[in-house]
Chain A
């Protein structure tokens, strides 16, 4: 199961977000948290805080339910403000370890979109939408209406199939040689640009290029060369 964990340092208010697969171990020492549990790789999240145990908690699925279990011998785990050693987790729950507050979100894709991004068309004083649109070639929208806009779809935000995935592609917006966007940039003239609607039409091939079947083979075969 894929989760988004947003951890906020209570002292500073600084927040960081990670998208991780369960089981997820949290603690202060990466090497002292388990790397494998029951044959599954463990995602390990390090929290640098003296109040956090080397291996503090484990989040895993049990009988179809997401559960957090204290592994620190009682050094402190609070779920939604209540001290506990074991607790089910629901979407949106908060738990506290040491000086960190962590929020669980079950739908990382949706959660990845900030409130600001999720707002519908943002019209400026000139009546044009200032929202950044486009995946490979991001640009200011500039439309004067949401009608017919594939990004807002008459006000229904985030209908853009390429909207959520940006956060998963490191180097997004970097097009020079060696970066994954370079081929697309080199071939930019082949994408259909409609000056009237300001849409750049993606073909199915463009879309598929991000999830080629062959890509899923990488880093799976330990006998490859």
Chain B
């Protein structure tokens, strides 16, 4: 990135609407690197934004989270998650039409989460870049996204999702490694992470369960039978049962709030979770974007439940990058098997991986320069 230093400082807006962690985390991963040379505003309606803001106010702040102490230049433009669709769409349109910026980066939803971008994209006189996480092909077909994206986006960035995602064949598509909230040299020191998770001083194997999601758990083709009333409850139950089944193993459930059924002494809370995942011998979670690629980068085996989502194909990601399971019983059996295979204590391994956000910033700058 050194060769880019002479370029004028720009204002980038990242459209990251969508529930849960995925969009906000991916936008922050990009934004915190981009902010080293440009002002960045992230437009979000995530219900997790309050939690993230609280963590950003920690003293001391998580090291290097936003890069070179320029936190003031990353602006989170938060839209309340409980606003109606009409109100949310109106807020987005007003913001994008009344704010000055040099580039619009749209995460996942080319027409906007509520279709609100379709009306205004033709009026925006700035380069538009689509961040193309995997998408439900039915959505791509139903809304004519291929033609729309080809017409309205100068660049498509595919952050580690491969060449089989629905719009990857379009001529403006470019691929990077997965975007991660932490590069290898930024991860929290092991002692600090050990303390945060309240791990015992004598080395034991560690299983971390990533619990998130308020929806009733539903798996493709299998429904919700016996999985609990919410996804977090499923993970709370799993934490308890895993602790009972493997008392010699340290089990921790990582979640903003202690899930139902989870014993409080087994619960830990931290963002970004990648700091904690580096301590795990095995991770159990959903097959969302961040959990999957964070585990892949850290080379931690992931056991995943591929939850049904309207837009995200977790099953596809789960099959490619994890051990997919459909029940608590199956997950516990697989944890046992994977722990037995573990050759060396997890926490002594050297980590090295590529964080795709650096390349993404370069590609976006090139797109702006060439527009």
Most chain B beta-carbon neighbours within 10 Å: one of A169, A171, A219, A222: A222
A175 to B86, CA, bound (A): 34
A30 to B117, CA, bound (A): 13
A180 to B145, CA, bound (A): 9
- A31, B98: Cβ atoms closer than 8 Å: yes
The answer to whether the Cβ of B177 comes within 8 Å of any Cβ in the partner chain is no
- B309, A224: Cβ atoms closer than 8 Å: yes
Known contacts A31-B94, A218-B310; is-contact A223 B81 (Cβ 8 Å): yes
Query: Across the interface, which residues of B come within 8 angstroms of A169, CB to CB?
Result: 144
- A170, B148: Cβ atoms closer than 8 Å: yes
Query: Across the interface, which residues of B come within 8 angstroms of A223, CB to CB?
Result: 18-19, 45, 47, 81
- Chain B residues 97 to 130 lying within 8 A of chain A, measured CB to CB, are 97-98, 111-115, 119-120, 123
Query: Across the interface, which residues of B come within 8 angstroms of A208, CB to CB?
Result: none
Known contacts A178-B166, A225-B23; is-contact A218 B139 (Cβ 8 Å): yes
Known contacts A31-B98, A219-B113, A225-B312; is-contact A41 B47 (Cβ 8 Å): no
Query: Across the interface, which residues of A come within 8 angstroms of B288, CB to CB?
Result: 225
- A31, B18: Cβ atoms closer than 8 Å: no
30 A–B contacts from the bound complex (CB under 8 Å)? A30-B97, A30-B120, A36-B90, A39-B84, A39-B86, A40-B86, A41-B90, A44-B119, A169-B144, A170-B144, A178-B145, A178-B146, A178-B167, A178-B169, A179-B144, A180-B140, A180-B142, A180-B144, A183-B141, A212-B138, A212-B142, A214-B138, A215-B142, A218-B310, A220-B85, A223-B18, A224-B113, A224-B310, A225-B23, A225-B309
Query: Across the interface, which residues of A come within 8 angstroms of B90, CB to CB?
Result: 35-36, 41
Given contacts A39-B86, A224-B18, A225-B23, 13 further A-B contacts (CB under 8 A): A31-B97, A41-B85, A174-B147, A180-B140, A212-B142, A217-B310, A220-B114, A222-B81, A222-B113, A223-B81, A224-B113, A224-B310, A225-B22
A180 to B18, CA, bound (A): 24
The answer to whether the Cβ of A115 comes within 8 Å of any Cβ in the partner chain is no
* Total residues of chain B contacting the partner, CB 8 A: 49
The answer to whether the Cβ of A125 comes within 8 Å of any Cβ in the partner chain is no
Q: Give the distance to chain A from B238, nearest Cβ to Cβ, in Å.
A: 22
- A215, B311: Cβ atoms closer than 8 Å: no
Query: Across the interface, which residues of A come within 8 angstroms of B147, CB to CB?
Result: 170-171, 174, 179
Query: Across the interface, which residues of A come within 8 angstroms of B85, CB to CB?
Result: 41, 220-222
Query: Across the interface, which residues of B come within 8 angstroms of A183, CB to CB?
Result: 141
Query: Residues 127-141 of chain A: 1 if any B CB is under 8 Å from the residue's CB, otherwise 0?
Result: 000000000000000
- Chain A residues 1 to 59 lying within 8 A of chain B, measured CB to CB, are 30-31, 35-36, 39-41, 44
Known contacts A171-B147, A219-B113; is-contact A178 B140 (Cβ 8 Å): yes
The answer to whether the Cβ of A177 comes within 8 Å of any Cβ in the partner chain is yes
Query: Across the interface, which residues of B come within 8 angstroms of A30, CB to CB?
Result: 97, 119-120, 123
Query: Across the interface, which residues of A come within 8 angstroms of B93, CB to CB?
Result: 31, 35
* Total residues of chain A contacting the partner, CB 8 A: 29
Q: Give the distance to chain B from A16, nearest Cβ to Cβ, in Å.
A: 14
- B310, A35: Cβ atoms closer than 8 Å: no
- Chain B residues 228 to 268 lying within 8 A of chain A, measured CB to CB, are none
Query: Across the interface, which residues of B come within 8 angstroms of A225, CB to CB?
Result: 18-20, 22-23, 288, 309-312
The answer to whether the Cβ of B291 comes within 8 Å of any Cβ in the partner chain is no
Query: Across the interface, which residues of B come within 8 angstroms of A224, CB to CB?
Result: 18-19, 113, 309-311
Q: Give the distance to chain B from A29, nearest Cβ to Cβ, in Å.
A: 9
Query: Across the interface, which residues of B come within 8 angstroms of A221, CB to CB?
Result: 85, 310
- B111, A219: Cβ atoms closer than 8 Å: yes
- A177, B142: Cβ atoms closer than 8 Å: no
Nearest B residue (CB) for A181:
B141
A36 to B20, CA, bound (A): 26
Known contacts A224-B113, A225-B22, A225-B309; is-contact A219 B143 (Cβ 8 Å): yes
Total A-B residue contacts, Cβ distance less than 8 Å: 101
Q: Give the distance to chain B from A30, nearest Cβ to Cβ, in Å.
A: 6
A171 to B145, CA, bound (A): 10
A12 to B48, CA, bound (A): 53
The answer to whether the Cβ of B87 comes within 8 Å of any Cβ in the partner chain is yes
A177 to B167, CA, bound (A): 9
A210 to B23, CA, bound (A): 29
Q: Give the distance to chain A from B33, nearest Cβ to Cβ, in Å.
A: 23
The answer to whether the Cβ of B78 comes within 8 Å of any Cβ in the partner chain is no
- Chain A residues 59 to 113 lying within 8 A of chain B, measured CB to CB, are none
- B120, A222: Cβ atoms closer than 8 Å: no
- Chain B residues 200 to 218 lying within 8 A of chain A, measured CB to CB, are none
The answer to whether the Cβ of B190 comes within 8 Å of any Cβ in the partner chain is no
Query: Across the interface, which residues of A come within 8 angstroms of B148, CB to CB?
Result: 170
Q: Give the distance to chain A from B290, nearest Cβ to Cβ, in Å.
A: 11
A170, A171, A219: the one within 8 Å of B114 (CB) = A219
- Chain B residues 309 to 334 lying within 8 A of chain A, measured CB to CB, are 309-312
Nearest B residue (CB) for A180:
B141
Query: Across the interface, which residues of A come within 8 angstroms of B98, CB to CB?
Result: 31
A224 to B20, CA, bound (A): 8
Query: Across the interface, which residues of B come within 8 angstroms of A170, CB to CB?
Result: 144, 147-148
Query: Residues 170-190 of chain A: 1 if any B CB is under 8 Å from the residue's CB, otherwise 0?
Result: 110010011110010000000
Q: Give the distance to chain B from A21, nearest Cβ to Cβ, in Å.
A: 12
Q: Closest 9 A-B residue pairs measured CB to CB?
A: A35-B90, A223-B19, A180-B141, A178-B146, A219-B115, A170-B144, A31-B97, A215-B142, A225-B18
Q: Give the distance to chain B from A83, nearest Cβ to Cβ, in Å.
A: 31
The answer to whether the Cβ of B292 comes within 8 Å of any Cβ in the partner chain is no
The answer to whether the Cβ of B360 comes within 8 Å of any Cβ in the partner chain is no
